[in-house]
Structure 1
Amino acid sequence: MDTVIKRWYDLISIDSVDGHEINAANYVAEVLRGMGIEPHYSYFPDDKERQRPSVWCELDSGKPGKTMLLIGHIDTVEVNLKNWNTNPFKPTEIGDKVYGRGAMDMKGGLADILCTLEYFAHHKDEFSGKLVGCFVSDEEILSKGTYQLVDEDNIHADYAIMAECRYDNVAVGFRGRLSFEVIVHGRAGHTCRYPESGENAIILAGKMAEAIEALPTATHPKLEKGTWCVRYIEGGTTATLTVPDTVLLFLDRYVVPGENEESCLKQLTEAADKLGLKDKVEVRLKPRSSPYMKSFAIPEDHELVLALQDSFTEVTGEKLPCAYDPSVCDSNILAVSLGIPVVTFGPSGGNMHGDNEYGYPYQVRNCLDIYIKTVKKLLG
């Protein structure tokens, strides 16, 4: 078994479900030490028990030049064992697929980063400048691992490849995402005297929810448009015969360039006002411990994009189109918080975040060759 596939298998075999990244981090650190690269651990403040580190490293060619960042996340989503046909923590080959948690998202990409670093650790004459590798925790939840590296000022680069699982195209832009809370106030009263007494906050919240999902959004030539989604409602009374007086609506808001927290809050306030609920509705950005991600897009003719596309064609004989993702990932942090041009491309598969997740060995092998060629083009 070639090294990149073995490391892919090794990583799948490690349970690194959110909250349990330590063993995957230690594996990465051990592999880096084996190739003569010193790993550094980073812990975000919430990780009191130090079980969720990110690992980062730097490989210096010894010659002046630019810096390429290779980054991926070591955490995975949770597993529902009863729905799996195989052991999710034992890589299982069936036909041309390998099944296991993280087989697609994104332990193949991690193996490719490790092997790319190893190649250049043994061939320093083939590049100038530096390579930085980051293996981050918590990406599937709040991206605290990457945000912590930003706070520690550990990430500096001229280019970045996010080794996330997308193989048939290269993502050059992502929407941003915000979350809002809308608190709707009614008036309590005994249900036997309703509706003459009391004002039902659930009914008012329903009107507000319908109005929110009808709100217009901005458009972008590539990222298309923003979206509103009322994701859940909390409130009501279960134990007493009381008219509900408070309900909370939770909103997911995906944004494109030109939309931000202020413009969205203004829309929500205006929607309440049009319904005559101005004094009955509070709107706010949902508090969270890490920043929200903003949208971005880099030019399709950026040298990083072109280098990756050329490398893909050299390896596969096919063209690699550009794409724009409707969701968010740590690429948003690199592009917006750090101003690093980033492309998102890596070995893929199927059943992402689902049961019986799988990846393709040929894509893992190809992406390693593509990463090496891209680094040579830009840092050679």
Structure 2
Amino acid sequence: MDKRQLAQEIIQRYRYEVIQVVTDVLRIPSQNKPPVGEEKAVQEFMATYLARAGLPVELYQPDQVPGMREHPEFWPGRDYTNRPNLSSKLKGKGGGRSLLLTGHCDTVALGENVWTHPPFAAEIHQGKMYALGASDMKGQLAAMLVLYKAIAEQGIPLRGDLAFESVVDEEEGGVNATIAGRLRDGVMDAAILPEATGLDIYPAVRGALILGIYFSGAGTWLDVGKQAQQADAVAQLGIFLSHLDELRQRRRSHPVPPLYQPYPDPVPVQVTKVYGGGWGSEVPIAVPNEVRVEMIAQTLPGEEKEACWQEFNEWLESVMARHREAFPKPPRVEQKLRWMYPSQTEPTHPLVTTLVACASQVLGRQPTIKGAPYSCDLWALHRLFNMPAVVFGPTGGNSHAADEYVELDSLFAFLESLLLFILEWCEVAE
């Protein structure tokens, strides 16, 4: 039997189990609410699933890995009590390349989004499964878990080692757990991260500078601004927002790597949260004494943190210089989350070319190779451990929003492509 036929038959054989396990995993809440998170239950579910099949599996606390807290990229302030990583490895016969299948089991917090499909029901409607984490990325992670188990159960004799990993605390700039995985389990020849990509292949990810800007004012009522040096925080916010396009233009003036040239806006600058004064009848009618803004400036491979900070500060200084009367003192600016590095594996790397060839057989088209329109923990594998890594996953939508979903046909096309790639990359012993 050739590899393509073998991949088709295995995916068909496990189709019902994939749907069931994905459903079960999505029904277990695993929201990340820094500094804590609720990933324990879903990690224990997946560990039990592997253990019952006789596969090796370990749960461990990320910050207890030797060298983790001393690592230069350790981000402090997170509590990993009852937040274990999951690790499993199938030893190969020897002579093949190793592969890490890695994903995160945490989701963003539910927040105030209003869902039309219950966020923990995993409802299927018109070929889509809806749930918090369906596309980012518990849906793919659970499907990949079944695939990993299927390879072991079917007795496929891979030459190279195959590892499965589920990490905690990726959302909200965590990434400590991804670093802990490599410190504990070592570097492998390549890694696949199954974020939703629409079945395209992302060898690169954007970086991110996430800032909190705090505007302060007098916090009075109708007489705000009448006294000398009396600042208005809302007016400051308006000025800030009215000039934000200038920062966007500065960001777009930099050279754009080829993998990001398909995007109309390769380096987005976005306001993600605005807060001031509270809301409702229990809050007095008054101009707030503080207005807060959270913003994200995404970055491209080749950019460094210091240059991005300098560009932001120069822009903000230029805005204040034109509105000195509104800014008796500058707003306070702080880095909200860790600096997320932009990173790239070369498109000519065998990891990319082999995956393209395998996915093309399954999809009947060549997947597009481009940079991811987001940041994720791929950078830690590539930048800190020199591991070639790509993002590859199914079609999904509404990540970080209401009615998040994954398309099921796309999920199975992803699994078949991934299995064919594993057979090629790790090689099958005769």
TM-score range, shorter chain: 0.7 to 0.9
Shift of 1:83: 4.4
Show structure 2 runs of 5+ residues with no match: 1-14, 64-76
Which residue of the partner structure matches residue 267 of structure 1? 311
Q: Secondary structure at the match of 1:135?
A: strand
Whole-Å Cα distance in 2 between the matches of residues 163 and 374 of structure 1? 13
Is the contact between residue 99 and residue 356 of structure 1 (CA under 8 Å) also seen in structure 2? yes
Shift of 1:137: 1.8
Q: How many residues align?
A: 377
Is the contact between residue 113 and residue 402 of structure 2 (CA under 8 Å) also seen in structure 1? no
Which residue of the partner structure matches residue 37 of structure 1? 55
Shift of 1:240: 11
Is the contact between residue 175 and residue 254 of structure 1 (CA under 8 Å) also seen in structure 2? yes
Is the contact between residue 74 and residue 136 of structure 1 (CA under 8 Å) also seen in structure 2? yes
Which residue of the partner structure matches residue 4 of structure 1? 18
Which residue of the partner structure matches residue 51 of structure 1? 82
Matches within 5 A, 1:70-85: 70-79=101-110, 83-85=114-116
Residue-by-residue CA offset, 1:245-303 (whole Å, 9 max, x unaligned): x7655432111134332112322333344343699336655154xx3211122222221
Amino acid at match of 2:348: D
Whole-Å Cα distance in 2 between the matches of residues 103 and 186 of structure 1? 42
Which residue of the partner structure matches residue 63 of structure 1? 94
Whole-Å Cα distance in 2 between the matches of residues 166 and 351 of structure 1? 13
Residue-by-residue CA offset, 1:24-75 (whole Å, 9 max, x unaligned): 1011111221233322223345675733222122221142443211011222
Is the contact between residue 59 and residue 85 of structure 2 (CA under 8 Å) also seen in structure 1? yes
Q: Secondary structure at the match of 2:195?
A: coil
Q: Secondary structure at the match of 1:105?
A: coil
Whole-Å Cα distance in 2 between the matches of residues 242 and 167 of structure 1? 45
In the alignment, does 2:390 pair up with 1:337?
A: no
Amino acid at match of 1:33: A
Identify if the C-alpha distance between structure 1 residues 36 and 292 changes in structure 2 by more than 3 Å, giving closer, same or farther: farther
Amino acid at match of 1:59: L
Identify if the C-alpha distance between structure 1 residues 148 and 42 changes in structure 2 by more than 3 Å, giving closer, same or farther: farther
In the alignment, does 2:92 pair up with 1:92?
A: no
Whole-Å Cα distance in 1 between the matches of residues 394 and 255 of structure 2? 30
Whole-Å Cα distance in 1 between the matches of residues 23 and 221 of structure 2? 62
Indicate which of 255, 259, 263 corresponds to 1:219.
255
Is the contact between residue 42 and residue 148 of structure 1 (CA under 8 Å) also seen in structure 2? no
Is the contact between residue 40 and residue 84 of structure 2 (CA under 8 Å) also seen in structure 1? yes
Whole-Å Cα distance in 1 between the matches of residues 395 and 383 of structure 2? 25
Which residue of the partner structure matches residue 157 of structure 1? 188
Whole-Å Cα distance in 1 between the matches of residues 112 and 269 of structure 2? 33
Residue-by-residue CA offset, 1:67-124 (whole Å, 9 max, x unaligned): 2110112223344799445544333333433333333333331233223322332466
Residue-by-residue CA offset, 1:113-155 (whole Å, 9 max, x unaligned): 2233223324666322311211122223233453452574435
Amino acid at match of 2:50: L
Q: Name the TM-score, length of structure 1 as normaliser.
A: 0.83
Is the contact between residue 341 and residue 379 of structure 2 (CA under 8 Å) also seen in structure 1? yes
Which residue of the partner structure matches residue 371 of structure 1? 418
Q: Name the TM-score, length of structure 2 as normaliser.
A: 0.74
Residue-by-residue CA offset, 1:215-242 (whole Å, 9 max, x unaligned): 2012313324423334456678997999
Higher strand share: 1
Shift of 1:324: 1.8
